[in-house]
Amino acid sequence: CSRWEEEKKEDGVKWMQLEHRGPYFVPPYEPLPKDVQFYYDGKPLKLSLATEEIATFYAKMLDHEYTTKEIFQNNFFHDWRKEMTSEEQEIIKDLDKCDFGEIHKYFVDKNEARKALPKEEKQKLKEEADKIQEEYGYCILDGHREKIGNFKTEPPGLFRGRGEHPKMGMLKKRIMPEDVIINCSKDSKIPEPPEGHKWKEVRFDNTVTWLASWTENIQNTLKYIMLNPSSKLKGEKDWQKYEVARRLKDVVHTIRAQYRKDWKSKEIKKRQRAVALYFIDKLALRAGNEKEEGETADTVGCCSLRVEHIQLHPQLDGQEHVVEFDFLGKDSIRYYNKVSVEKPVFKNLQLFMKNKDPGDDLFEHLNTTFLNKHLQDLMDGLTAKVFRTYNASITLQEQLKALTNPEDNVAGKLLSYNRANRAVAILCNHQRSIPKTFARSMQVLQEKIDTKKKQVEEAQEEVKKAEDEFKDTKDAKAEVNVEKKKKLLKRLEEQLARMNIQATDKEENKQIALGTSKLNYLDPRITVAWCKKFGIPIEKIYNKTQREKFAWAIDMAGEDFEF
C-alpha cells in the first residue's frame, strides 16, 4: 500500500501532529551606497531610509512595461508620498521630476555581477540557500518529514496584479512577525519568533492544513504558508479532486437533461439557474462569487454577469442564436467569445435582458450559494468548479485520442499533446501576453531552419552525385558512399522536420498559457497513461517539480487508465 493510501482520520481532522520553524522572514533593507543617488528636479536628494527603500522598488522596475502605465505611476506615487517624512513631502510633489536612473543602473550592474560570479562563489550562495531551505523548508506532519511550499514571506514591493488591475503600483508592505498567525500542534516545539518580536497569535487548529497565515495589505486577502504540492496531504487532496470530477462523468447526462427541462420552468429563478449552468458546463465559465464593493477589480463570472457583458445576435457570421460575451474574468483577463447557443437559451436570455439597464445583473435571482446548493443536491461534492475540471480533463483525453498518430516520432506526438493541451487552455480562457522575447527567439529559430534547409539541399546534391558515380563505376566503394550520403540526408531531413514542428508549436502557443490547466485542471493520470502507451518519457511533459507534484499519478496510472 503506497503512502497515498495510509490510515484515514475522522472527518475534518487533517493532522494529529504538526511541527515547524515558522516562516523565514525576508532580510531587512540594505541602504544604497553613498555614491548612488536619487535626483529630484535635476538635483541630488538624500532620502530617509523608508522613502529610499520604496524608491528602489520603482527603480528596479524602470525597464518594465508597468512603470509606463499611468495607473501604476499614480498608485505608486500616492503610496510613496504617504511613507515620506514631512520635509520630503514638501519637496517631492511630481513623479516626472524624479530621476531613478542611477539607482536603476546600480541594481542592473549588481544583477550582472551576480551572474558573472565564479563557480565556487555561486556554489557558496547555493549552499547558504540550501541551509535556509533545510532549516525552514520542512515540517513534521504525523511523523513524516514533509516539504513546505512557500516558507518565505513575500518581500515588500509594488503590487503588479494580472491583466489591467486597478491597484497596480500600490505598496506591498513588509510582513512582520506581529502580522503572522502560527498554526501547529499543542505538544510540538512551538516556533520562536525572530529576536525582539512576537507572533500575532499561535493556534492549534488541526482542521486546516496551513502552517502560518497573515493578511496582505493590498486586497486584504489572507495569505497562507502551505505544504509543498508533492506532500502526501496535497497529493491526496489533488487525487480526490479528480475523483470527484470522474464521478460527475456518470451523472452529467442526467444533469444536462435536468437543466434543459428547467429552461421551460414556470419559475424564473430556476430558468436563470439552468441557463447559467449551461454556460458553466458548455463554456467552462467560472461561477463568479459575489465580491465586496470597491475591494478588488471589477471582474465577474457566470452568476455575476451584467446585461452589458453580452450581446444577442439572432444571426451572425452564418450562425444562428449567437451570444457575444465580453467581460473581465478572474485576474482581470478578458473573456471574449461568440457562441451559437440552443434556441431556448437564446429566448431565455432575451427575456432576462428585457427592460434592464446595461449595469443590471443578467441573472438577478441567482447567486453562487444558491447554484452550488443545487449542484450539491445533484451530486455529493459537486460545485461549479468541478465542471471546469471535468470538461478540461475529458477534452484532453478526447483530443489525445483524436490527434495522436501512433506512427509519428516523439516530436510529432509531443506536438499532438501540446495541441490537445491548447484545446483545453482555450476552453478555460488561459491567456498570456505574447512573451517579450517571442519575436527574437522566433527569428533565431527561423534562421536555424533556413540554414538546415540549405544543408538538406546540399545533401540532396551529394546523394545525386554519389548515385551518378555509382552508375558509372558500379564500384562497391561507391555503393557504400551512396548509402552513407542517404543516411546523412535522412538525418538532416528529420532535424528539419523537428525544427518545423517546434516553430509551429511556438507560433500556436504564443498567446496561450498551458501551465495553468496542466497543473490545476487536467487529471495527470491521463497524461501518464498516454506517455506509457506511446513510450514517451514522462519528463518530456512534466518537469521535476511537476513530477513531484504528480508522484501519486505516476505511481497509480497504467496505460489503460480512462478518466
Catalytic residues: 521
- CB 378, CB 296: distance < 8 Å: no
All three cell numbers of 190, joined, read 512551538
Non-local CB neighbours of 276 within 8 Å, separated by 6+ positions: 302, 303, 363, 366, 371
Give me the long-range contacts of 109-118 (CB less than 8 A, separation at least 24).
none
Q: What is d(CA 559, CA 445) in angstroms, rounded to the nearest whole number?
A: 35
Residue at grid coordinates 497504467: 558
Report the b/e string of 502-538 with b at 16+ CB within 10 A.
Answer: beeeeeebeebbbebbbbebbbbbbbbbbbbebebeb
Pairing of strands 181-183, 157-158: unpaired
CA-based end-to-end distance of the chain: 22
List the 43-45 sheet strands across, edge first: 43-45, 38-40, 98-99
Q: Which helix (H) or strand (E) holds 319?
A: strand 319-328
CA 469 to each of CA 139, 315, 448, 458, 466: distance values in angstroms, whole numbers, following the listed order: 73, 67, 31, 17, 5
- CB 397, CB 522: distance < 8 Å: no
DSSP notation for 96-120 = GGEE-HHHHHHHHHHHHHHHT--HH
All three cell numbers of 284, joined, read 467552462
HSE-CB of 514 using CA atoms within 13 angstroms:
16
Q: CB 255: neighbour CB atoms within 10 A?
A: 17
DSSP 328: E
H helix count then E strand count, the chain: 17, 15
Strand partners, 227: 148
Non-local CB neighbours of 4 within 8 Å, separated by 6+ positions: 232, 235, 236, 239, 552, 555, 556
All three cell numbers of 384, joined, read 461549479
φ and ψ at residue 140, rounded to 5 degrees:
-105, 120
Q: Which helix (H) or strand (E) holds 323?
A: strand 319-328
